[in-house]
Structure formats: structure tokens, C-alpha cells
Amino acid sequence: MSTCFFIGHRDAPDSILPALSAAIEKRITEDGVDQFVVGHYGKFDSLAAQAVRKAKKQHPDILLFYLRPYHPAERPFTPAGFDGSFYPPGMETVPRKLAIVRANRYMVDNSQFLIAYVRYTVSNAWELTEYALKREKKGLIHIENLANDKNLPLHFTSDTIDPKQ
């Protein structure tokens, strides 16, 4: 079994959906990914879940899991459209304000693939992707940042954009 995790900005544009769908298809057909894990806290998460659900129509054996950063007792339901949920071990002792960051890091540490949409240097998504890049250099994860795709339209909503991009 191979797992792919998603990380991206909460204001990701709808225009990335075709590139996101293509990246998911590639992970399934070329790399044998059969489990996808995504949060539920922003536009990128919503687009990623939507794209995986669409891919499930062609690949019914793949699974889509909701990453729970908070204890399941707080929100005992799994959002519609997910095959299940995952609460990382050890999260019970993590302070609430660090829960999303810590759950995301757990997934980077335990996934073989990361599909990202990360443009803003001042964000948790950027920091997590930088962390994942160190793991990629060791051959522990493969990263695809859709924000690096020059065919995508630029989406500037912040003055914190990395000027090198």
C-alpha cells in the first residue's frame, strides 16, 4: 500500500483542479498509490478531496481518508465522501493550537507521496513542504508542488509571495 498526503493553502484557486486531478491519476497509475489522506480545513483540501472522489469513479479500489487533527470524541463523525478517518497516534497530548501542524507532519513522515499547492513563504504549508523536501533528499517521500507548474495561472492574494517564484 502507498499513501499520498495533500498540503496547500486555504485560498487555492479552482483553476488548479485539472492539474490536481492529473497528479492524482499519475500517483495511482504510475506509482500504485491506493490511499489518499487529506484534511478538511481549506480550499485546497476541498479540491483535493473532490479530485480523489472523481478518480474513484475510474479506480474504485482507492481510498480517501479524512485526517483528524483533533480527538475523534470532539467530532465523532467523518465528513461525507470519505471512506474513513485517521487520527495520528500520540495526538492526545498535543496542544490544540498545534494539532493541525503536528497531524500534518505525522502524515509527511508516514506517506510516500505529497501533492502540494504551496506559494506563500509565510505559512504552515510552506514550512511543512520545506520539511518534506529534506525527507525527499533522503528518498523518503516524493513531492509534487503544483504551484511550481508554470502552466497554472498566477494567484496572488497576499503580499507574502516569495519574490523568487
Q: What is the pLDDT of residue 36?
A: 98
Going from N- to C-terminal start, the domains of the chain cover 2-148
Query: Which CATH architecture best describes the domain 2-148?
Result: 3-Layer(aba) Sandwich (3.40)
- Whether 3 has a pLDDT exceeding 70, the answer reads yes
- Whether 164 has a pLDDT exceeding 50, the answer reads no
Q: How confident is the model at residue 157 (pLDDT cuts 50, 70, 90)?
A: very low
Q: pLDDT tens digits, residue range 49-96?
A: 999 999 999 999 999 999 999 999 988 888 999 999 999 999 999 999
For residue 23 the three cell numbers come to 497528479
Q: What is the pLDDT of residue 149?
A: 67
Mean pLDDT (the chain, rounded): 90
What is the DSSP code string of 122-155?
SSHHHHHHHHHHHHHHTTS-EEEEGGG-TTSPP-
Q: What is the pLDDT of residue 8?
A: 95
CA angle 18, 124, 68 (to 5 degrees): 75
Q: What is the pLDDT of residue 122?
A: 85
For residue 19 the three cell numbers come to 492539474
**What's the mean pLDDT in 111-120?**
95
- Whether 151 has a pLDDT exceeding 70, the answer reads no
- Whether 126 has a pLDDT exceeding 80, the answer reads yes
Q: How confident is the model at residue 156 (pLDDT cuts 50, 70, 90)?
A: very low
